[in-house]
Amino acid sequence: MTRIQNTVFILVALVALVIGLTVYKVLNSAQPLDTAELLDAGIVMLPQGRDMPELTLTNQDGEAMALKQLEGRWSLLFFGYTFCPDICPATLAELRQLRGMLPEEALPRVQPILVSVDPERDTPEQLKKYLDYFGAGFIGLTGPLDDIQTLANAAGVPFIPGDTSKENYTVDHGGNLALIGPDGRLRGFIRAPLRTEKLATQLPAVLALE
């Protein structure tokens, strides 16, 4: 090996060493999420994100909305319905309260969404009227029952459809929220009942993730 080749080899090795040390420093200086604190706030993060189905539903303004349009910020998916007597109004009120407690810079990073599990009665007009009670910033989605069940199952929050042949029927569903990341993948859950004060403290760290 010539002297020039030796010099080039040494330079390449030095550059690689510097890059390696820099990457190591960056990785080890990053502050990881405190799993225990997140769990105490009801936030469960998945080790790996899960793909969501490519669906198009209808929002409260009667406009078609593909799930991919939600990418770019965190979505809090709540599967409920406007005729729900208890869980849904309580959860939406808690989400409104949570939004008011989050720091201003975190608000553009998060979008609360009500996905109707009762598309028989939850027309776009009904969703809009209902969500107006909880102020601005909420999205409502409705559509074919099969599509909604596909989405709920993929999000890990399944429900049992109501018997639409009965008057004043109810729908059996839970109160957990699905955390959909800016990449459009399922990244975790927020367990019910919502602990708004603890969530207001812990959620911003999650919203800062990509």
Residues annotated within the binding site for Cu cation are 84, 88, 173
Tell me if the bond preceding 193 is cis, omega within 30° of 0: yes
In this structure, are residues 137 and 93 in contact, taking their beta carbons and an 8 Å threshold? no
Residues in the chain: 210
- Going by the annotation, the residues of the binding site are 84, 88, 173
Report the distance separating Cα 48 and Cα 45, nearest Å: 8
Alpha-carbon distances, residue 129 vs 64, 82, 92, 157, 180 (angstroms): 18, 9, 14, 25, 25
| Residue 5 DSSP code | H
Beta-strand pair 186-190/177-180: antiparallel
Looking from the CA of 98 toward its CB, the CA atoms found within 13 Å total: 26
Beta-strand pair 110-116/74-80: parallel
Alpha-carbon distances, residue 30 vs 22, 24, 33, 73, 185 (angstroms): 13, 10, 9, 21, 23
